[in-house]
């Protein structure tokens, strides 16, 4: 059935980021073959955008050392749009060489978090994006550049983050050559009213170049924040299977919105995702077995789908 609220989009994309944002935040190092199985199963369940890893030094994040192999595998799956995170020009060069469809350059609006996470000020990251754009264009590559503005609603290191600074940095990323921009509530400080206010202004700046909302469920408001963004027309969201995720350099940051919970909420409202929730829950069970001993999140896997739920609502 179509979405009953005319302000809501008819369809939405869930970008799976568990293989990067999720796995970087836990101690378990998942074997490459399990990651490939995860990608294959997520694709079979209908997911068409997956962030498979990050081009960072293996000594810093050994959990993501096989990113190039994962891009290579993911690109064999039909219709799969493959994303990677890159913290700098060197990582971007690796992403371009790998053939990834999109590279996300993270920028923290919090100066304290930016220095802790990337050892650069926010404006130095903007300058790095300009270098990334120049390298991409010189290579003749088609890899899109997404500037992701994190700690957009506050920071556990710095505290308050000025919304005006968030918007200034978003505009600066576009001016530096980013093809897309997104906003992230890295530490789970946002509420729906805050999301509505900031996203509305961000959309005025970026228009169709606004790409994605990224929310953490640290304080139980992840899905509510997604809904607030949906009402503004945002139709792409990051999520992690089993709600894993966080940031090693943001104390107190915990799990992302759970992919399965988000897929259920969207489907229940009649917003098409193309995702088969039954297959997604089966994959979650396998991932939970692989990550035995790690803290997982989400609620749908415990409660199950309601008897009144109609899977047809999920058809793409």
One DSSP character per residue, 131-156 reads HHHHHHHHHT---EEEEEEESTT-BT
Q: How far is CA 260 from the centre of its chain?
A: 14
Give me the pLDDT at residue 311, please.
65
Catalytic-residue membership of 247:
yes
- Write the pLDDT tens digit of every residue in 64-77: 999 999 999 999 99
| DSSP annotation string for 162-183 | -HHHHHHHHHHHHHHT-SEEEE
Task: Name the residue with tokens 């297959």.
Answer: 279
The residue extents of the domains of the chain are: 13-304
Q: In whole angstroms, give the CA distance from residue 188 to residue 204.
A: 24
CATH superfamily entry for domain 13-304:
Aldolase class I (3.20.20.70)
Token digits of residue 140: 């003749």
| Residue 225 near residue 187 (C-beta atoms within 8 A) | no
Whole-angstrom CA distances from 170 to 17, 52, 138, 152, 285 are 21, 24, 24, 10, 38
List the one residue out of 7, 11, 23 whose CA is nearest residue 267: 11
Mean pLDDT of 254-267: 94
- Write the pLDDT tens digit of every residue in 201-253: 999 999 999 999 999 999 999 999 999 999 999 999 999 999 998 766 666 66
User: Of 36, 155, 212, 247, which one is the catalytic site residue?
Assistant: 247
Give me the pLDDT at residue 255, please.
84
List the one residue out of 158, 304, 230 whose CA is nearest residue 7: 230
- The pTM of the full predicted model, rounded to 2 decimals, is 0.94
- Write the pLDDT tens digit of every residue in 116-156: 888 999 999 999 999 999 999 999 999 999 999 999 999 98
Of 164-173, 225-234, 253-262, 270-279, minimum mean pLDDT range: 253-262
Whole-angstrom CA distances from 84 to 87, 160, 185, 305 are 10, 29, 19, 32
């Amino acid at each position: 059935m179509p979405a009953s609220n005319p302000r809501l989009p008819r369809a939405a994309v869930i970008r799976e980021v568990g293989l990067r944002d999720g796995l970087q935040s836990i101690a378990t190092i998942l074997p490459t073959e399990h990651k490939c199985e995860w990608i294959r199963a997520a694709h079979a369940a209908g997911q068409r955008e997956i962030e498979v890893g990050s081009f960072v030094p293996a000594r810093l994040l050994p959990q993501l050392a096989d990113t190039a192999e994962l891009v290579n595998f993911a690109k064999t799956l039909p219709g799969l749009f493959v994303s990677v995170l890159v913290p700098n020009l060197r990582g971007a060069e690796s992403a371009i060489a790998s053939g990834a469809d999109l590279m996300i350059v993270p920028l923290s609006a919090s100066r304290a978090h930016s220095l802790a996470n990337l050892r650069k000020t926010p404006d130095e990251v903007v300058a790095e994006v300009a270098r990334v754009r120049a390298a991409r264009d010189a290579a003749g590559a088609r890899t899109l550049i997404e500037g992701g503005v994190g700690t957009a609603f506050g920071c556990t290191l710095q505290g308050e983050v000025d919304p005006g600074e968030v918007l200034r940095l978003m505009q600066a990323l576009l001016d530096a050559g980013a093809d897309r921009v997104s906003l992230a509530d890295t530490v789970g400080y946002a509420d729906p009213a805050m999301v509505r206010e900031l996203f509305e202004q961000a959309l005025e700046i970026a228009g169709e170049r606004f790409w994605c909302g990224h929310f953490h469920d640290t304080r139980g408001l992840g899905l509510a924040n997604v809904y607030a963004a949906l009402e503004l027309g945002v139709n792409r969201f990051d999520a992690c299977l089993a709600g894993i995720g966080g940031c090693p350099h943001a104390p107190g940051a915990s799990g992302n919105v759970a992919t399965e919970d988000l897929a259920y909420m969207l489907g229940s409202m009649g917003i098409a995702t193309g995702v088969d929730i039954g297959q997604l829950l089966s994959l979650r069970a396998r991932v939970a077995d692989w990550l035995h001993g790690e803290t997982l999140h989400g609620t749908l896997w415990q409660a199950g789908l309601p008897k009144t739920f109609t899977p047809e609502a999920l058809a793409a």
